[in-house]
Structure 1
Amino acid sequence: MITAKLQIILFIASILTFLSIINMIRKYNLELKYSLLWLFFCIVNVFLASFSQFSIGIAEILSIKEPVNAIFLLSFVFLFFIIFSLTLTISKLSGKLSQLVQEIAIIKKELETDRGNKASK
C-alpha cells in the first residue's frame, strides 16, 4: 500500500516539475518537442499519486509485492526511454554537425581558390 505521505510527496513533486517544465517552455529555454515526454511523465505521476488503486493494479499485473516498487520500476523504464530518445537526438545532431562542418570547409576552400584565381589575373 502507498502511504498518504508518499502520495502527497509524489503529487507535489510531479506538479512542481510540470510547472517548471511549462515555465521553461514559455521562456524558450526548452523546446516543446523535447519536453513532451517529461510532461507526459509528470501527468502519469500525478495520476498514480491521485489514484493509488491504479498502482496497486499495476503491481499485481507485474507480480510486484509493493505498489511503490511498481511506481519506481515504471519511472525507471520511462526515464530509460527518455535517455534513449535524447541519445537518438544527439546522434542525429552530431551527424548534421559533421556534415555542416564539411560543407563549410568545402565553401571556404572554394572561396580561397576563387581569390587565388582573381589575384593571379
Structure 2
Amino acid sequence: MISAQLQIILLITSIITLLVILNMIRKYNLELKYSLLWLFFCVVNILLAAFSDISKTIAGLLSIKQPVNAIFLLSFGFQFFLIFSLTITISRQSNKFTQLVQEVGLLKKEVEKLKDIKSTER
C-alpha cells in the first residue's frame, strides 16, 4: 500500500514537473518532439499517484510485493528508455556534425584553390 504522504509527494512532484516542461515548451526552450516522452511520463506518474489501485494492479502483474517498488521499477525503465532515446539523437547529431565539418573543409579548400587561380591570372 502506498502511504497518503507518498502519494501527495508523487502527485505534487509530477504536477510541478509537468508545469515546468509545458513552460519550457511554451518558451521554445524544449522542442516538442523531445518533450513528448517527458509529458507521457508526467501523466503516467500523476495517474499512478492519484489512483493507487493502478500501481497495486501493476505490482500484482509483475509479482512485486509493494506498489511503491512497482512505481520505482517503471520510473527506472522510463529513464533507461529516455537515455537510450537521447543517445540515439546525440549519435545522429554527431554524424551530421561530422558531415558538415567535412563539407566546410572541402568548400574552404575549393575557395582557396579558386583564389590561387585568380591570383595567378593577374
Task: State the TM bucket, normalised to the shorter chain.
Answer: over 0.9
> What is residue 94 of structure 1 aligned with on the other side?
94
SS at match of 1:76: helix
Normalising by the residue count of structure 2, what TM-score does the alignment of the two structures yield? 0.98
Give per-residue Cα distances to partners, 1:12-47, cap 9 Å, x unaligned.
000000000001111111111100000000000000
Normalising by the residue count of structure 1, what TM-score does the alignment of the two structures yield? 0.99
1:119 aligns to 2:116 (yes or no): no
SS at match of 2:57: helix
Give the number of aligned pairs.
121
CA distance in 2, matches of 1:109, 1:25: 41
Unaligned runs of 5+ in 2: none
CA distance in 2, matches of 1:39, 1:83: 15
Unaligned runs of 5+ in 1: none
CA distance in 2, matches of 1:48, 1:79: 17
Displacement after TM superposition at 1:97 (Å):
0.1
> What is residue 8 of structure 1 aligned with on the other side?
8
* Aligned structure 1 segments of 4 or more residues deviating by more than 4 angstroms: none
Give per-residue Cα distances to partners, 1:87-121, cap 9 Å, x unaligned.
00000000000000000000000000000000000
Give per-residue Cα distances to partners, 1:56-77, cap 9 Å, x unaligned.
0100110101000000000000
Counterparts in 2 of 1:1-121, with a 5 A limit? Answer: 1-121=1-121
CA distance in 2, matches of 1:53, 1:21: 27
Q: What's the C-alpha RMSD, in Å, of the aligned pairs? A: 0.4
